[in-house]
Amino acid sequence: MISRLLELFLAYEEDPNVKLVILKGKGRAFCAGGDVVAVVHDIWAGGWRAGANFFMKEFSLNYLMATYSKPQVSILNGIVMGGGNGVSMHGRFRVATENSVFAMPETALGLFPDVGASYFLSRLPGFFGEYVGLTGARLDGAEMLACGLATHFVPSAKLPMVEAALCDADSSDPVIISSIIDQYCEKPSLKEQTVYNRLDVIDRCFSQRTVEEILSALEREVVDQRDGWIFATIQTLKKASPTSLKISLRSIRVGRVQGVGACLAREYRMVCHVMRGEFSKDFFEGCRAILLDKDKNPKWEPSKLEHIADTTIDRYFSKVKDEDWEDLKPPTRSKFNLPPYVIAKL
């Protein structure tokens, strides 16, 4: 599908008859993510390079969308997770509904929030990005709008009308597109238990220097208030791959000061190291436990945060030592006169 999307997007950019691209899913999901099981099978069959090839294509698609010269409207009427975010968050317009469920759940799987998440998560308010990326927390449509992941919220019943109006208008003008969607927009209220009301705790804890300190800060909060949410957050972190947590934290922090192209290039390095399994095989163990055998009991190795040295984390960010390997080179978008620090989100 990624190859097909790449083909289509490239073709649409050249085609003067195409004014904007609307992306939507079928059924109860917009897109639940990349077919990770298939990637794992590919790697078993053809080695890590087969997996790398998948991610190279996927990240190239993400970059294309981030730098696309025509507006993209993604209708996120349902689950949007992992790779699904990669093909929507970099677009200009992201329409959430009452059915939206957002997540970047990679740390539970032994991976890390990729597809340019180190770019879009790090731009969320305060340290919300660290929270979302490390815990894989689920956000609903109202929360997505509140933090900026979604640009609009439209009740699902009105979606056909939005589509029709956009097609009628047949315009590339983002102002016109925005005002059309605005007409069907609603301001959803955040649910009472919303995590968005806990930003002060999130900022206090997830601003800490290291994963260990984040956990300690959360544990201190529990002592002060008996709180199910904090307890659950701690449990989620404890169940995630320690290596994933550390590389995810650094990825988001470093990504905060980088442009989307640099973020994707860096994430490509990281994902290659993950697939090579040089320092940890958590990705394979995570897929086994969660997706294949489904026993939901992954045995991470290294199993403790303290056992992972900073120097090991450094290695995930360095080039792969292999003569055939190359850094991800996002396709040249020079004819569109783009600055290197492309701003993908409004």
Partner 1 sequence: MERAFQRTQVLTNHLLQSSSPLPSQTLSSNACLSYSPPELSENCAFDVKEMRKLIDGHNLEERDWLFGLMKQSELFNPKVRGGKVFVSPDYNQSMEQQREMTLKRIKYLQERGVFKGWLTEKGEEIEMRKFAGFEVFSIYDHSLFTKLGVHFPMWGGAIQFCGTKHHHDKWLRDTENYSIKGCFAMTELGHGSNIRSLETVTTYDSNTGEFVINTPCESAQKFWIGGAAKHATHTVVFSQLHINGINQGVHAFIVQIRDVDGNICPNIRIADCGHKVGLNGVDNGRIWFDNVRVPRENLLNSVADVSPDGKYLSSIKNPDQRFAAFMAPMTVGRVNIAIGAVYQSKVALAITIRYALTRRAFSLKPNEPEVLLLDYPSHQRRLFPLVAKTYAMSFAANYLKVLYAKRTPQSNKAIHIVSSSFKATFTWNNMQILQECREACGGQGLRTENRVGHLKGEYDVQSTFEGDNFLLMQLVSKALFAEYMAAQKRNKVFKGLGLEHMNKPCPVIPSQLTSTTVRCSQFQMDALCLRERDLLNRFVANVLKCKAKGENTEQAFNSCYELAKDLGRAFSERAIFQTFVEAESTLPAGSLKDVLGTLRSLYASICIEDVSFLRYGYLSVDNGANVRREITKLCNELRPHALALISSFGIPDAFLSPIAFNWIDTNSWSLV
Considering only residues 99 to 158 of the shown chain, the ones binding partner 1 according to CB under 8 A are 125-127
236 binds partner 1 (CB under 8 A): no
Buried b (16+ CB within 10 A) or exposed e, 132-158: bbbbbbebbbbbbbbbebbbbbbebeb
**34 annotated active-site:** yes
Nearer to partner 1, 156 or 197 (CB): 197
Q: What is the DSSP letter of 229?
A: H
What is the rounded (10 degree) CA torsion for 300, 112, 293, 229?
A: 80
207 binds partner 1 (CB under 8 A): yes
**106 annotated active-site:** yes
Considering only residues 37 to 76 of the shown chain, the ones binding partner 1 according to CB under 8 A are 67-69
175 binds partner 1 (CB under 8 A): yes
| Given 25, 34, 136, 261, the catalytic residue | 34
Choices 73-81, 159-167, 174-182, 323-331; region in contact with partner 1 by CB under 8 A: 174-182
The letter for the amino acid at 253 is R
Residue 336 CB, nearest distance to partner 1 (Å)? 6
187 binds partner 1 (CB under 8 A): no
Of 132, 126, 30, whose CA–CA distance to 72 is shortest?
A: 30
Nearer to partner 1, 138 or 256 (CB): 256
Nearer to partner 1, 16 or 27 (CB): 16
219 binds partner 1 (CB under 8 A): no
List, in sequence order, every residue forming a beta bridge with 339; answer none if it has no partner.
none
List, in sequence order, every residue forming a beta bridge with 24; answer none if it has no partner.
75
**170 annotated active-site:** no
CA 75 to chain centroid: 16
Binding mask 254-293 for partner 1 (x = CB under 8 A): x-xx------------------------------------
- Contacts of residue 107, defined as CB under 8 A and 6 or more positions apart, other chains included, come to 113, 133, 134, 135, 136, 240, 241, 244, 245, 248
Positions marked catalytic: 34, 83, 106, 114
